Amino acid sequence: PNIVEIHDWGTAEDGRLFLILERLRGKELAALIRENGTLTPRVTRTIGLDHLRALEASHAVGVVHRCLLYTSD
């Protein structure tokens, strides 16, 4: 949960690397904020916990991430 599934990866004939990822439905966080303004504490908590669960799961299987980015428009 909370992590996109990778279906395949490899190198194309022209040498470019590729990933085939699960297609997700939903809204980007930036769009949610643009549409609703400040998020409620409950929504913020839910989103934050989802992110932490994803990090926990990835760390449990040895995945090392470089960084988590936050950008504001």
Model confidence pLDDT, tens digit, residues 18-60: 999 999 888 888 999 999 999 999 999 999 999 899 888 888 9
State the DSSP H helix or E strand holding residue 35, giving kind and residue range, or none if neither.
Answer: helix 29-36
CA distances 51 to 2, 4, 55, Å, are: 7, 12, 6
- Per DSSP, 16 falls in state -
Q: Indicate if the pLDDT at residue 73 is higher than 60.
A: no
Are the CB atoms for 11 and 17 separated by under 8 Å? yes
Distance of alpha carbon 31 from alpha carbon 37, whole angstroms:
10
The number of CA neighbours under 13 Å toward the Cβ of 32 is: 10
Q: What pLDDT is recorded for position 55?
A: 87
Q: Among 3-17, 30-44, 56-70, whose mean pLDDT is lowest?
A: 56-70
